Amino acid sequence: MTEQPLKNIIEAALFTAGKPLTIDHFIDLFVEVEPPERREIRTALQALQEEYAERGIELLQVASGYRFQTKADLTPWLKHLQPERSPRYSRAVLETIAIIAYRQPITRREIESIRGIAVSSDIMKRLQDYNWIRILARRDTPGHPALYGTTRAFLDYFNLKNLSDLPPLTELRENLEKQSELFEELIAPEKEIVPTNLEEIAPEKKIVPKKEILLKTNPFVITQP
Amino acid sequence: MTEQPLKNIIEAALFTAGKPLTIDHFIDLFVEVEPPERREIRTALQALQEEYAERGIELLQVASGYRFQTKADLTPWLKHLQPERSPRYSRAVLETIAIIAYRQPITRREIESIRGIAVSSDIMKRLQDYNWIRILARRDTPGHPALYGTTRAFLDYFNLKNLSDLPPLTELRENLEKQSELFEELIAPEKEIVPTNLEEIAPEKKIVPKKEILLKTNPFVITQP
Amino acid sequence: MSEHSEVEVSSEAKAIVQGTQLDILPIDLYVPPDALEVFLESFEGPLDLLLYLIQRQNLDILNIPIAEVTRQYLQYVELMQEFNLDLAAEYLLMAAMLMEIKSRMLLPSTKENEPETDPHEQLIKQLREYAQYKEAAQDLDTLPRIERDIFLATVERPDIPKEVIIPDISWSVLLEAMREVIERAELFTSHQIMQEPLSVRERMSLILEQLNSLQRIDFLMLFKLEEGRAGVVVTLLAILELAKESLIQIIQEQPFETIQVEL
């Protein structure tokens, strides 16, 4: 890891965190190396505040920490910024809403354990912004985690009358396979007609999602004498 | 409306747009007042680029426009802020997108003949889902196979301004240049908006067909005696 | 062929033995059949396998000893068949072509029987081209990219309410995402997604919502007679499931008093 000015690290972190950051957050960035002193961080933040004083954005301290925000007097221009007409969505968004639909009421931790990967606050916030999920209650365990469920708006968006219109999970796969075949026929122009006897020697490839994981976690075992 | 330095307006717009911005975007901010000259905007962008040269973030021009982003050498610290692990792409995905990037416009059959093995519909669909590829046209041969090319979003994602920024193919440098020229012409109609709406790019796209009919692309000509 | 998972091991490493990456399989190594399957499936097709065989011996693509490479290639293909691997037909085609090239080389070359496209030259051209793009794919993977090496710098605009635009997500895309989740979830055996009637989970959400506004509710109020027997069963199951997960409490303060449900 090369030497980097603390101020630059703090600056880049503030711009990419998507939430206000506290001094503790900055210290947490230094996992592999000796963290800086809190005093040094405060000095860097102050320097940044001064450097941005005359710019289009400013570094402010709000209740939950430090954050950059645009100067209020630029609003007249910025309001003309066109939001993207069709914003991009990630697979994480799709998977998260699908899990909530099937497993509600569910906590974020539980979603993460099904996905096998962290679910960012941003995704939960976006789904709430779309009004597709809401907090139903809080679980009576330490931390009182929120329990999420889908909304009427979610059902409406996908033209569902109620949740039981969602295909049962067990059928989902078979259906998809059937639909795929149908789809194959639909896009037939791109496809060659394959004589049936050739199909026999060309068994379709099976999906082997487990394989990679197997290789990673369970590499070749060499038997020791 | 108070007088504001153009540079500050541009700076704040870049930070809040959530997408790369072009000079046209900046001009659109000036709805109620006389818009600045394109030349003035370019000067302001250049000034910003210089002012941020030594900071933790930089102003960069990628395929879809200008954007602020973190410097690559800060990643070791910043990755601790990102709850989502960045996706890794399989060799099949990388090889397919590489072939499309260097050889566009190209049909799926042609990709298959270079790879020597079928390219699953899943991969093509996934690349379209990522918004990395799109159908540029259809070839005027039987079946009218789709001709694929990469999108601006693909270049944006890999931090490239245009196709010629791709690492040169070994041995194929001259060919590539010819092809990029051809491609620049093809890509020209696509102006501001990268089609994010998947239905637009691939109206027929529905469900991943998992079935690959193998043998359909035999790249090798075996002459019968 | 690992087209169905985004996460995979480094493409160069064929195996990891006691923490060390092996790029080349040791000769005479006893390989358990499962591992062999994984090894063989790490190839992206017959060209990839051929390249591996050639590069393993530091051979020049332009000057391959066809007989030896064919022998090794056929060995692998036989192995694949032996283990009943789903062998893509391309592998068999390649085997056929290698044998064709080999036999052609044994024949005395005469001008008349020279085909227009020499399969040997054709193969070398193919291999070179594929090798190029294989390398290009590796280069692409090392380019700095969003989410991994660089992050976009954004700033809040607190004074302007953010306009929410819902992305255009098609039903089939959502189902596809769910299918992938199921596949992945099956890897986490402790978190099997169970088959459970969705109507119960939906009712659980509805009950929680009702309790959210009322805090405490008469047990019987949760049932709607017009839903019939099935509706009653669904509601009852939902209440029991919520109670089991300690999300609600079922209270009866005095015997014979009405049963209450509260958060």
Whether C66 shows a pLDDT value over 90: the answer reads: no
Tens of pLDDT along A153-181?
998 888 888 887 877 776 665 554 554 45
Does residue A64 belong to the interface with chain C, where contact is any CB pair within 8 Å? Answer: no
First to last CA, chain B: 84
- Chain C residue numbers with beta carbons less than 8 Å from the beta carbon of A219 are 15-17, 35
Q: Which of B70, B75, B82, B95 to mutate to test the interface with C (most CBs of C within 10 A)?
A: B95
Comparing CA positions, the residue from B160, B178, B30 lying closest to residue B102 is: B178
Tens of pLDDT along A70-104?
988 888 888 888 666 666 677 788 889 988 988 88
Select from B1, B10, B211 the Cβ nearest to the Cβ of A180: B211
User: Which pLDDT does position C186 carry in this prediction?
Assistant: 60
- Chain B residue numbers with beta carbons less than 8 Å from the beta carbon of A13 are 56, 77-78, 81
CB-based burial label for A170 (10 Å; 0-12, 13-18, 19+)? exposed
Whether A183 shows a pLDDT value over 70: the answer reads: no
User: Which pLDDT does position A6 carry in this prediction?
Assistant: 93
Question: Are the CB atoms for A140 and C247 separated by under 8 Å?
Answer: yes
User: Which pLDDT does position C31 carry in this prediction?
Assistant: 56
Tell me how far CA of residue B17 lies from CA of A83, A125, C162, in angstroms: 7, 18, 11
Which chain C residue has its CA at the smallest distance from A57's CA? C155
Does residue B73 belong to the interface with chain C, where contact is any CB pair within 8 Å? Answer: no
- A88 CB contacts (<8 Å, ≥6 apart)? B131, B196, C167
Question: Are the CB atoms for C35 and B83 separated by under 8 Å?
Answer: no
Alpha helix locations (H) across B17-84?
23-28, 38-51, 75-78
CB-based burial label for C59 (10 Å; 0-12, 13-18, 19+)? middle
- Chain B residue numbers with beta carbons less than 8 Å from the beta carbon of C100 are 222
- B211–A181 C-beta distance less than 8 A: yes
Lowest-pLDDT range, A57-66, C59-68, C72-81, C192-201?
Answer: C192-201
Does residue A87 belong to the interface with chain C, where contact is any CB pair within 8 Å? Answer: yes
Q: Which of B64, B104, B117 to mutate to test the interface with C (most CBs of C within 10 A)?
A: B117
Mutual orientation of helices C198-214 and C228-244 as an angle, nearest 10°?
70
Q: If you average pLDDT over residues C99-124, what whole number do you get?
A: 75
User: Which residues lie across from B134 on neighbouring strands?
Assistant: B149
Distance from CA of A206 to the nearest CA of C (A): 7
- C123–B102 C-beta distance less than 8 A: no
Does residue A172 belong to the interface with chain C, where contact is any CB pair within 8 Å? Answer: yes
Percent of chain A with pLDDT over 70: 70
Which chain B residue has its CA at the smallest distance from A53's CA? B8
Mutual orientation of helices C89-106 and C46-56 as an angle, nearest 10°?
50
Does residue B87 belong to the interface with chain C, where contact is any CB pair within 8 Å? Answer: yes
Question: Are the CB atoms for A103 and C201 separated by under 8 Å?
Answer: yes
- Retrieve residue C197's tokens: 């009637």
**Segment holding C251, helix H or strand E:** strand C249-251
Q: Angle at Cα C170 formed by Cα C164 and Cα C175, nearest 5°?
A: 115
Whether A45 shows a pLDDT value over 80: the answer reads: yes
pTM: 0.65
Select from C7, C134, C172 the Cβ nearest to the Cβ of B95: C134
Largest CA distance in chain C: 106
- B75–C122 C-beta distance less than 8 A: no
Select from A97, A116, A150 the Cβ nearest to the Cβ of C188: A116
User: Which pLDDT does position A172 carry in this prediction?
Assistant: 63
Tens of pLDDT along C119-159?
888 888 899 899 999 999 999 999 999 888 888 898 877 66
Tens of pLDDT along B30-89?
887 889 999 999 999 999 999 999 999 999 999 999 999 999 889 888 988 876 677 788
Q: If you average pLDDT over residues C152-174, what whole number do you get?
A: 75
Q: Which range is most confident: B101-110, C23-32, C70-79? A: B101-110
What's the mean per-residue pLDDT of chain B?
77
Task: State how far the Cα of A110 lies from the Cα of A113, in Å rounded to an integer.
Answer: 5
Whether C210 shows a pLDDT value over 70: the answer reads: yes
- A86–B197 C-beta distance less than 8 A: yes
- Chain A residue numbers with beta carbons less than 8 Å from the beta carbon of B146 are 190
- C86–A204 C-beta distance less than 8 A: yes
- Chain B residue numbers with beta carbons less than 8 Å from the beta carbon of A17 are 81
Lowest-pLDDT range, B102-106, C18-22, C34-38?
Answer: C18-22
Select from B87, B90, B207 the Cβ nearest to the Cβ of C3: B90
Q: Angle at Cα C85 formed by Cα C84 and Cα C88, nearest 5°?
A: 125
Neighbours of chain A (3+ CB pairs under 8 A): B, C
- Chain B residue numbers with beta carbons less than 8 Å from the beta carbon of A28 are 80
CA B196 to mean position of chain CA atoms:
11
- B115–C130 C-beta distance less than 8 A: yes
- A52 CB contacts (<8 Å, ≥6 apart)? A58, A59, A68
Tens of pLDDT along B170-213?
764 344 444 444 444 444 433 333 333 333 333 333 333 333 32
DSSP C256: T
Amino acid at B8: N
Q: Which residue has the higher pLDDT, A185 or C77?
A: C77
Whether A58 shows a pLDDT value over 50: the answer reads: yes
Tell me how far CA of residue C201 lies from CA of A93, A167, A184, in angstroms: 21, 14, 35
Amino acid at C173: V
Taking CB atoms and an 8 Å cut-off, how many pairs form between chains A and B? 181
Comparing CA positions, the residue from B37, B35, B61, B31 lying closest to residue B48 is: B61
